[in-house]
Amino acid sequence: AQSVSQHNHHVILSEAASLELGCNYSYGGTVNLFWYVQYPGQHLQLLLKYFSGDPLVKGIKGFEAEFIKSKFSFNLRKPSVQWSDTAEYFCAVIIYGNNRLAFGKGNQVVVIP
Amino acid sequence: EAGVAQSPRYKIIEKRQSVAFWCNPISGHATLYWYQQILGQGPKLLIQFQNNGVVDDSQLPKDRFSAERLKGVDSTLKIQPAKLEDSAVYLCASSLEWPWGAMDNEQFFGPGTRLTVL
């Protein structure tokens, strides 16, 4: 069964610091990769996604993620966070031939002003 | 456009009682999903509909959970009888297209129903 690993469940950092959240998946075939975000009191929403092509994907609000196939990873980055980036971030994967979106456990990120 | 609507937003019941959740997806979205999100975990797919047909219910505890999507639009998820471990947020999502590989496969999530089983 496919699985998605996210480490460092709780992350606390100051404004203007850089953020990197790790995501690893356990499947060697073709995948579609996603990062979802849930701001306090709001719905889950898509931050960015990867299907094919350029492994560096840019999303909303200055976020980007890089797909490294050899490392089965899809890490999320933002060079300079703001207080408004306080949220929970989920990595998710769909593997070829299985239309089920599998989520990681999430990263709770708190940005201190 | 209007988002995915869910009701109720909160529900508290005692174990062995029944409960039902309702979802209205975004207009025109063919695919509808129900997820269970237990505290501290990511959402887990319970069931997926394509129009009014079930595509994937392999992770649905069928002895107590049931779901339907009549007429391919609204959907209801029922738990009967509820257990303590069913306490979770139940999320409904919809997408325009089939999940795999389609450019319009983004899943749009509703606000969820927070269920507490005492």
CA of B10 to nearest chain A CA: how many angstroms apart? 14
Residues of chain A below pLDDT 50 = none
Task: Please list every residue in chain A whose beta carbon sits closer than 8 Å to the beta carbon of residue B56.
Answer: 99-100
Per residue in B47-99, pLDDT tens? 999 988 998 999 999 999 999 998 889 999 999 999 999 999 999 999 887 65
**Nearest CB neighbour to B41, from listed A49, A101, A105:** A105
Query: Across the beta sheet with B65-68, what order do the strands follow?
Result: B5-7, B19-24, B75-79, B65-68
CB contact under 8 A, B56 and A43: no
Task: Please list every residue in chain A whose beta carbon sits closer than 8 Å to the beta carbon of residue B101.
Answer: 32, 51, 96
Tell whether the torsion through CA atoms of B49, A26, A24 and A86 is positive or negative. positive
